[in-house]
A and B are shown apart, each in its own frame.
Chain A
Amino acid sequence: MSLLENVVLFGRLLRQAGLPLSPEQTRAFARALDWIDVGSREQVFHAARALLVTRKEDLRLFATVFELFWRAQSRGTELRLPRPARAPRMRDAEQRFDAFSVLSGAPADDDPEVEVGDRAGSFSAAEVLQHKDFSDLTPDELDEVRRQIRDIRWLVSRRRSRRQVPDRRGARLHLRRMLREAARHDGTPLRLRHLSRKIKERPIVLLADISGSMEKYSRLLLHFFYGAIQGLSDVECFVFGTRLTRITHHLRVRNIEIALEQAANEILDWSGGTRIGESLAAFNRQWGRRVLRRGAVVIVVSDGWERGDVSELRREMRYLSHRCHRLIWLNPHLGHPEYQPLVEGMAAALPFIDDFLPVHNLRSLRDLAGALASLPERRSRRAGALGR
């Protein structure tokens, strides 16, 4: 097989393995072979990596494919790449609540059927639905609620970026434009032109608890996330139970069935235990610097039921609160009138939260949308909980 054929084959393998690769990159790699010793495994490896990989995350996959390819070539064997495993993960038969039943909307076997009651009461059915707790919905209502959640209009408060754009009411003079115009009028600036700072949406970071204690709510949270991602320009989504999983890229897919299925496949710890502190620690270390920028608003959805170390939760909450514009905690139980945030984990987190809000029915989600749209431009002083 010629060298060029090898390059093309290798490029095809990488693409099959899921590495985004442009034809131009493959061509560049072919050209690079002129400059290096093609007999040296190390040199070929480094050259290929330099030109074909553009993300740190892909480095390991690249190394694996290269290793396979090089070995097969030196043995002269035909190479066939194993399909990357994407099969849905098998679940314990005992476990009733699995990702598929969540996403297909099929109720888990032990879901209680709840009577909607007399629809001819003083409230219209639609109005009732707005106030009905997510955990009490019948399958039919669930469908409707899901649809409504996805259709909520999300608006995020804006911030002034440092980019300058023309604006009649701006404070700064747009000198470049004024002088260009002046040149046309005998050097006399006839009109004042102004600039102001461009307004941009704040980034939103969603972190949702999908552990066992949140089971009745987490199925709907994904729909909420999907709606937010589709409606806003800069949203990052993470879920956690015992470990942290980023699902942003899955939810960006337009088709909701596919988006939710992919997201669910990625999540390994549905309805298990909760380690909020540990999960936040993972977020702070791996993602904090990358997604908490430019005045991000962080929304944590959890009941605060922590099975791990509460002091770790406290430490990570403090770190998080110092690095975002606003920290909002949504707790489904807060909707119940007699609820008190006495769970140890919730109590530990409270001092660092700006807004402590319920998330148990459609109404509360709409309220959240309203609150997000009108966040103050200044950071609040981290005095403690404001909501309720």
Chain B
Amino acid sequence: MNTIFQLAWLIPILPLVGFVINGLGRKTLSKTLVGIIGSGVILISFVISVLVFLQIKQGHTDVIHYFDFIQLRSLSIAVDFKLDQLSGLFLLIITGIGFLIHLYSTSYMHEEDNKDFAKYFAYLNLFVFSMLLLVLGANYIVMFVGWEGVGLCSYLLIGYWFRNSDYTNAAKKAFVMNRIGDLGFLLAVFWLISKIGSVSYDQIFLSANLAKLSVFDITGITLLMFVGATGKSAQIPLYTWLPDAMAGPTPVSALIHAATMVTAGIYMIARSSALFSLAPITQHVITIVGLATALLAASIAIQQNDIKKVLAYSTVSQLGFMFVALGTGNYVAAVFHVLTHAFFKALMFLGSGSVIHAMGGEQDIRKMGGLHKHMKITSITFFIGCLAISGIPGFSGFFSKDSILSGAYEYHPFVYAIALFTALLTAFYMFRLYFITFTGKFRGTHDQEHHLHESPLAMTFPLIVLAILSIVGGYIGVPASLGGHDELSIYLSPVVKSVEQSLAHETEYVLMGLSSVLVILSILFAWVKFRNYKNALPTTWLQKVLENKWYVDEFYQKIVVEPVQSLSVFFNNVIENKIVDGIVNGVGKLVNYSSRQLRWLQSGQVGAYVLLMVLGMLILFFIQLFL
């Protein structure tokens, strides 16, 4: 075995160690020490990940066995790590961006109490541990351990300010929604176990084992897995938790709810691409759901006024894009977009954190404006992020989005049209956000204006690094039509293969040109409209519907929560108390009642006893003589 690979277990264990130290020492350790431990362990993990990645890049891959989790005659589950191209790439994203966000947090969270500060870092480290477990696992069980683990950390971090009951409610919602998805994932795993008898990727993706699955099996398994992915990656119908999850501290939103955890669903499907490629029906479903989510979330984002909510819906929308890529069989493009999205979305979340920090906790963009003057680094990096997400040629988002769009075009022009429209909406709402926040006149209070300042280096440094990555990150996947080699898909080819693209270069040029021109137009439109933004209430009905997020939450409340609630009340009040317990108590009461009645026979009147005796004897005679 490779020497570096022998160290692979350290990658997830180090954050766990950080979690334990920070968690136990939350009362004794100083903030500086907590910050150093918290970020340091991630940095070391990152270094090891880079070394591992370099090995993988040279073509070394391995499955490392640690110990048996469960070993039965008919089932064996091992704790194994798989080091291959896909997990190597995700390792870099998680530890790299994770480190930057830890660094950022040391400054952002500095005003918290000592204890809470340590708690925050402990949770963040635990999250990184779970996420690493998720991508490193060599079977679905280890993945599931990480999968639920990140859900747990998300729950803990959303509810970080636990005194606020809205926040804890959002945390609960996130966990429960994720659990619904998890049930789908679990059922898929059970199905795999019952058909193949194994959970390890290497076993399942053997063609001999895949042949054991009927079309129905594969479709069912992949659909259930997709249900799992909709929970974690916030797709219709389980997406509503993600915008609410913005209740957590902003760096958490950047790390968990934009860059890493929500891409777990993408990772899972890319990992299982061998299965999904065999299930065309599932792929249709994924495409449709992804497309619908992208469009719905983008439309909502247009009318949101909370800076983080806009970014949240934008995340949901971008995740929808990734699912479109997965559905169209364009797995590499999905992974590519995960990567670039991690850069620019983390950048924008951290940027928004910087803004919120400067505004003293204010998140409503209607009360901002003209911030460019006061915080140049934040503003410029945010602008770069907006350009990247909009897909302006040359920025990272352009390449990944173009790859998704051309795949969609090949799949079906209609899919392409919707996706392109969504991309235009994306550019529009992102620049709406940018212009309202950073240009025009300041609309906040006087105190806030006085307080405005650029954030400290620990916060701006990650912004700058991420901004650079948002620009150059796309160059690892330059398509052949633009003279590149598409290195990403070559790198990933041993694990994940997209369907072959057969578009002529000319067509691709036309598509690229079309999208670029339209995107620029839509940015200009946003500039005209929001350059000098003045507060205005929504006027048309469409704006109101969008501002209220299509009333989806209310719909769920009516269609799911309330029926379950009333069913429970019915169970409790009627079935439990009246029927089941009624029968049990009824038996008791019956015995009681009959004794009370029979007691009258014991009247104490001797005559009555004798009369009964005589009657009894007469009856016996009667029976004896006549029957």
Q: Is chain B a partner of chain A in the same complex?
A: no
Chain B interfacial positions (CB closer than 8 Å to A): none
Chain A interfacial positions (CB closer than 8 Å to B): none
